[in-house]
Structure 1
């Protein structure tokens, strides 16, 4: 199937600029996708139960279980939205169905959700740490192990202020991840999977030991979720505090309790964000991931909360362990005190990993949402301008982190206040998404990969009964929450209204700027939009040189490449990657490709530099989720012989080459080997062979092989021995020893590395100095290299 192409009429004074529509992505299994979502969704298990019980009483676990069951239906809505032609989460779905105004409202509610995810997760992590510290201080005082410095005159242990210390810990976590995201944190599904493996070990121990303890002590189930068993706190009644309406309508009380428990369902938007990276078959694996997430969260959050209420005595559960319920459950298991304390420490460590990760997810997720809004022309280009040193969207990161720090400061570590406000963003973002999907059932008649079940067909009309029911439950809960969560309602409406006004004014100003930028781009560049990028689109020959460029003020990599490339023999392509951020789409329509002033300056500078050398270049823009994957995918699709990149401000040349090599290994076959050049600002160059290649052998190593060949060849029946036979034997023997004794072989190999006083770069290539090559030399390797039996051609410069 041919790719769609939109070409403006060529003019002689314009440079061709090819813009790709398909986003360059790396793909992950559904297990890894589930792990990424559970790192966000699982965090609510550590605080949702305590917040719900504070609001509705001891029957709270049943409502948490009900919310977790209802999350199956909400997740089904997200699966249907991901299976459609529109992708990218709430903002894209709502805009497609309801237009820009509702899209800005929905993203404002979603931002309120994300802004509060970080503080509530960070503060909750602090609560678990402070709770453990205070418990240990009490135990030390009781056994007279504590120093006088931590004791009161009465003999009781000093206690850390819970809320204040928790807020300080949350601020430290937020500051750490703010800095990591400013530098450009490396997101990895491996990290998420490792954290979930550790969490799974904790969950299995927690539930197994918890069930055994509940049976052993004869624990009773919490009271059933009937109106008579609901005991609302004063704050939980919100604006209905001084009315008798709740008491006259029992069902309304149940809806109130459900609304106070809905924050246990947070994190669903992460599924839409990770959808684009799920490997083929995408829809099947998406549904698998959704099922894994649903079952895991139901067991961990739902059953875990139920057991905690059954095991922890009423006298201490809310007053002492409300904000660290899972840790409190560990202390009331059946078993020795030392073992229980040890398991509680394990719970706190796991909780810190999950909750700390949720803080980072909140920054990454909200940054991704705002980046998507900015790319759509709603947010000013000022926010998109990359950080000069690290190349990240630091202004958006600063805005998000600043709002999170402000929230921590205002709430002073009060988990109940944070949880009340958090539920507002959660429920309204779900409601907007469900409404949009309901509208799209009538508005969009095309094929869907999957639909929310329970669809009744009457003639040619299909009634989406299941989707309608989900929407009505969400809308009803959202409306009830408006009356019962006074702090959340006021703060949420103010926040959403402020963001909506900012978006509206910024969009109006941006439209004028983008119209001018688009006009200037069309005047200077011949824009061509391609679904996928290949040599035919750029009209280049095999064996081209791809040069990355991200800073118009420092084009030293491009200058180096132009100096060392004869463009009569070898084409040169300047690549600019447009980072889409978390939750971006898999496909960007040509009408949505808005160029910022930064990108215009980048392309103009590239053309100016090429003209100063008197050489021709091609320009290419690719949307990307990961820069290294975009680099190797582009090089492979263009059949490039070399890739040239400037030295990163945060990675060494070896680390850059390593990441490129890892991305190359992840490519599907067929894939082409190429040479990766890293250029320093002073013009010094380092080269690395990407893919399988003959290693560079030092002269003394060649001499060693030759001496062995001379000595062994004197033995009888060895007259046919070749140098390659010695290497084959050595490698085969090493492989055998490695399989038999891995650790011993690694120690011997490390000793060899240390004794040789050098470490090899990626693929074993030595760093090559190429500064002496003149403009007439091509970077491309020769088409043929004559290799004898005993000699290998490694690096050849050709004219």
Structure 2
């Protein structure tokens, strides 16, 4: 889109900075670990199946190497490059390799869900069988793999529905999950050390070539060749089968935008926390399994390794079973979360690819009711369900295939950062260490070594994993062809649609304020998204005198951290076909009403948060929305109120107006502290108490506000005393028994 003035073009203000709340590096680390820690549940068994008892050493090596990979993501985040995952790689490597890179990344995401769901199912199935054996319940036994496949499919379908409706993942939830996980990890480490101290430990196998016992499936096309006997190749094979230990590390880049200032320093801190935690959890699990579980028995727990450890600890069986249950509970939380993350991530990546013109806009057509990109979500979930069906719950097959996507995603990321080091040498705040200069030319030794190592591992994986290579290459080729044909189609179609887009003149603004946007304080902010649901805008246009009050029509461009978390999006990615469609309808309504409106687009990870933050920056007096199809009026009011509470002090005075579809019924909410609207019977009670207490001494000095003040202080004291349950019960009874119709103008702070 061209930015120059054009006669007759309607101005649209586009914010190029994402509206979001910033989080500490602890929360950022928790988000990454909630994804990355899931691999601790399955990587040990997969690696040992492939390379034998020496597997823990290779997992440890991968965890240490991940610290170097962390440096690549930090440098990538420090570059001043605009665009999603496709556009950034395209800038570095060209269109062909960019499509290959995105295809590999999609293969990674499509496999993340099934392997996480199946792993959770295997742990749950293992617990069921363990309890059946211990309590001698004949019918309490399941086929672990089939049960795991069924469980994974059920979890996938559950999160499919949640994502169709529109689910918001909070850093608070990730932090809580990691707190529970940390409790389990601490108990596991202490209990394992106590077991070793009392019973002793089975010896560890040194990671030397003679101790590497590769399975037939682990060698792939290298079976029968001299390759595995060469030390360097044998080590690379071992590392390749342990690579899953750092799967999920790409999430570090996705949270970059949300990290509080100083961003890069906090990103480094988060990366350090992640490495230490992973070393203490992922690598130790594999070591403890070899040291505590007898070799003859451990083969029965390779797909349920932590559960197996829990049953070989010292202590009574009942206590071990209880801890086994905790292991399964934590695993289900983490692994099910990874299933959801995979759907969200895939949807985010494909959305960014579509915005870059590599997928038809048909895929991004919003759901008629919920406004989500349901077609992309459906595509991803169908691929995941097919993967689960084909695998039939075999975690080893899924792990081998998953490793293909992981290693090639890392390798292409490293290569693009390396190439951009030369193509755009000035555009970065931080660099991977070990850089030398020869005659003015920078030699990035550290970055080159990491890139070379990743490509060496990727190449060895291709040669040693037949099923993974065949499936991965097939998937990548299919997606590559789809991307190529779609890009050609979009290029022709968009050249014919240029005139439609030219109706709008984009005014890009990195920072929004009432002054820069040129609207008066006290304006009305109207949130729009669905071009077929603009009844609330029509009502505001009909009732507002724009000579006295400005109307700002806001569309939030919802972005996912996946595929665009490292770099800001380009203006044309924020203001795309969807915004053109909705604003064309907005302009038609405004012209029909004879009113002037200001048009604005802001990117945000959560639409409600973006609306509230924009209203605060523009000094709006009122936010106007239509009623959400997935929330009640009170729930919507509560949600907006919660985001108002997150605004920095001093928080502005704001009200929320929810217009129902008939344009007649309106629900008002005051956000923040405000005089409450009391029910008539409550006002009467205050007055009767005032009369009674006035007669007991204070007389004319007593006011109605004194009655309310004393009552509130007494309630606050009782709420924080042993009478708290009674207070809560009274409040719940009041809410349940109240006759509060939603069209009778209730108010809300955080809750109604």
> Which bracket does the TM-score occupy, shorter chain normalised?
over 0.9
Q: Given the superposition, is the C-alpha separation of residues 327 and 752 from structure 1 closer, same or farther in structure 2, using an over 3 Å criterion?
A: closer
Paired residue for 2:717, among 736, 751, 757?
A: 736
Q: Which residue of 1 aligns with 2:674?
A: 693
Q: Which residue of 2 aligns with 1:543?
A: 522
Q: Which residue of 2 aligns with 1:724?
A: 705
* Residues 108 and 500 in structure 1, CA contact (< 8 A), matched pair in contact too: yes
Q: Which residue of 1 aligns with 2:292?
A: 311
Paired residue for 1:471, among 438, 451, 456?
A: 451
Q: How does 1:708-719 map to 2 (within 5 A)?
A: 708-716=689-697, 718-719=699-700
Give yes or no for the alignment of 1:195 onto 2:190.
no
CA offset at residue 221 of structure 1?
3.3
Q: Which residue of 1 aligns with 2:531?
A: 552
Give yes or no for the alignment of 1:570 onto 2:519.
no
CA offset at residue 346 of structure 1?
1.3
* Residues 655 and 668 in structure 2, CA contact (< 8 A), matched pair in contact too: yes
Query: How far apart in 2 are the matches of 1:338 and 1:613?
Result: 73
Paired residue for 2:745, among 755, 758, 767?
A: 767
Query: How far apart in 1 are the matches of 2:225 and 2:64?
Result: 31
Deviations for 1:211-259, whole angstroms, at most 9, x for unmatched residues?
Answer: 1112222113321110000000001010011323322x12211111111
CA offset at residue 179 of structure 1?
0.9
Query: How far apart in 1 are the matches of 2:475 and 2:126?
Result: 32
CA offset at residue 28 of structure 1?
1.7
Deviations for 1:278-298, whole angstroms, at most 9, x for unmatched residues?
Answer: 122222221121111111111
Q: Which residue of 2 aligns with 1:462?
A: 442
Q: Which residue of 1 aligns with 2:142?
A: 160
Q: Which residue of 2 aligns with 1:236?
A: 218
Q: Which residue of 1 aligns with 2:591?
A: 611
Say which SS state the counterpart of residue 441 (structure 1) adopts: helix
Give yes or no for the alignment of 1:509 onto 2:528.
no
Say which SS state the counterpart of residue 701 (structure 2) adopts: coil
Q: Which residue of 1 aligns with 2:632?
A: 652
Q: Which residue of 2 aligns with 1:439?
A: 419
Q: How does 1:268-667 map to 2 (within 5 A)?
A: 268-318=249-299, 320-446=300-426, 448-458=428-438, 460-522=440-502, 524-583=503-562, 584-585=564-565, 587-593=568-574, 595-596=576-577, 598-667=578-647
Say which SS state the counterpart of residue 687 (structure 1) adopts: strand
CA offset at residue 421 of structure 1?
0.8
Q: Which residue of 1 aligns with 2:124?
A: 129
Query: How far apart in 2 are the matches of 1:58 and 1:403?
Result: 34
* Residues 82 and 570 in structure 2, CA contact (< 8 A), matched pair in contact too: no
Q: Which residue of 2 aligns with 1:61?
A: 56
Query: How far apart in 2 are the matches of 1:575 and 1:731?
Result: 39
* Residues 89 and 272 in structure 1, CA contact (< 8 A), matched pair in contact too: no
Give yes or no for the alignment of 1:746 onto 2:727.
yes
* Residues 575 and 601 in structure 2, CA contact (< 8 A), matched pair in contact too: no
CA offset at residue 520 of structure 1?
1.2
Give yes or no for the alignment of 1:115 onto 2:95.
no
* Residues 390 and 650 in structure 1, CA contact (< 8 A), matched pair in contact too: yes
* Residues 574 and 618 in structure 1, CA contact (< 8 A), matched pair in contact too: yes
Q: Which residue of 1 aligns with 2:750?
A: none
Query: How far apart in 1 are the matches of 2:173 and 2:573?
Result: 33
CA offset at residue 703 of structure 1?
2.9
Q: Given the superposition, is the C-alpha separation of residues 207 and 448 from structure 1 closer, same or farther in structure 2, using an over 3 Å criterion?
A: same
CA offset at residue 751 of structure 1?
5.9
Say which SS state the counterpart of residue 135 (structure 2) adopts: helix
* Residues 42 and 119 in structure 2, CA contact (< 8 A), matched pair in contact too: yes
Query: How far apart in 2 are the matches of 1:174 and 1:507?
Result: 30
Query: How far apart in 1 are the matches of 2:294 and 2:301?
Result: 10
Q: Which residue of 1 aligns with 2:205?
A: 223
Query: How far apart in 2 are the matches of 1:443 and 1:497?
Result: 28
Query: How far apart in 2 are the matches of 1:500 and 1:493?
Result: 10
Say which SS state the counterpart of residue 689 (structure 1) adopts: strand
Deviations for 1:347-368, whole angstroms, at most 9, x for unmatched residues?
Answer: 1111111111111111111111
* Residues 422 and 488 in structure 1, CA contact (< 8 A), matched pair in contact too: yes
Say which SS state the counterpart of residue 651 (structure 1) adopts: coil
Query: How far apart in 2 are the matches of 1:744 and 1:551?
Result: 44
* Residues 90 and 432 in structure 1, CA contact (< 8 A), matched pair in contact too: no
CA offset at residue 341 of structure 1?
1.3
Q: Which residue of 2 aligns with 1:96?
A: 91
Say which SS state the counterpart of residue 5 (structure 2) adopts: coil
Deviations for 1:547-568, whole angstroms, at most 9, x for unmatched residues?
Answer: 1222222221111212221222
Superposition CA RMSD, Å: 2.3
CA offset at residue 716 of structure 1?
4.8
Q: Which residue of 2 aligns with 1:788?
A: none
Q: Given the superposition, is the C-alpha separation of residues 391 and 751 from structure 1 closer, same or farther in structure 2, using an over 3 Å criterion?
A: closer
Query: How far apart in 2 are the matches of 1:166 and 1:756?
Result: 45
CA offset at residue 89 of structure 1?
7.5
Unaligned ranges ≥5, structure 2: 748-752
Deviations for 1:688-721, whole angstroms, at most 9, x for unmatched residues?
Answer: 0112211112233233333333443445565433
Query: How far apart in 1 are the matches of 2:649 and 2:439?
Result: 48
Query: How far apart in 2 are the matches of 1:139 and 1:230?
Result: 35
CA offset at residue 578 of structure 1?
1.1
Give yes or no for the alignment of 1:672 onto 2:667.
no
Q: Which has the larger radius of gyration?
A: 1
CA offset at residue 730 of structure 1?
2.9
Say which SS state the counterpart of residue 330 (structure 1) adopts: helix
Query: How far apart in 2 are the matches of 1:7 and 1:137?
Result: 69
Give yes or no for the alignment of 1:704 onto 2:685.
yes
CA offset at residue 377 of structure 1?
1.4
CA offset at residue 591 of structure 1?
4.8
Unaligned ranges ≥5, structure 1: 151-157, 770-799
* Residues 574 and 602 in structure 2, CA contact (< 8 A), matched pair in contact too: no
Query: How far apart in 2 are the matches of 1:634 and 1:165?
Result: 48
Say which SS state the counterpart of residue 547 (structure 1) adopts: strand
* Residues 85 and 352 in structure 2, CA contact (< 8 A), matched pair in contact too: no
Give the structure-1-normalised TM-score: 0.89
Query: How far apart in 1 are the matches of 2:608 and 2:18?
Result: 13
* Residues 715 and 727 in structure 2, CA contact (< 8 A), matched pair in contact too: no
Q: Which residue of 2 aligns with 1:174?
A: 156
Say which SS state the counterpart of residue 133 (structure 1) adopts: helix
CA offset at residue 68 of structure 1?
0.7
Query: How far apart in 2 are the matches of 1:576 and 1:185?
Result: 19
Q: Given the superposition, is the C-alpha separation of residues 742 and 17 from structure 1 closer, same or farther in structure 2, using an over 3 Å criterion?
A: farther
Deviations for 1:480-530, whole angstroms, at most 9, x for unmatched residues?
Answer: 1111111111111111111111111111111222333342121x3233222
Deviations for 1:404-450, whole angstroms, at most 9, x for unmatched residues?
Answer: 11111111111111111111111111111111111222222326332
Q: Which residue of 1 aligns with 2:5?
A: 9
Moved more, 327-336 or 567-576: 567-576
Q: Given the superposition, is the C-alpha separation of residues 269 and 88 from structure 1 closer, same or farther in structure 2, using an over 3 Å criterion?
A: farther
Q: Which residue of 2 aligns with 1:41?
A: 36
Query: How far apart in 1 are the matches of 2:132 and 2:722?
Result: 47
* Residues 421 and 488 in structure 1, CA contact (< 8 A), matched pair in contact too: yes
CA offset at residue 592 of structure 1?
4.2
* Residues 244 and 399 in structure 2, CA contact (< 8 A), matched pair in contact too: yes
Say which SS state the counterpart of residue 164 (structure 1) adopts: helix
Moved more, 666-675 or 233-242: 666-675
Q: Given the superposition, is the C-alpha separation of residues 550 and 49 from structure 1 closer, same or farther in structure 2, using an over 3 Å criterion?
A: same
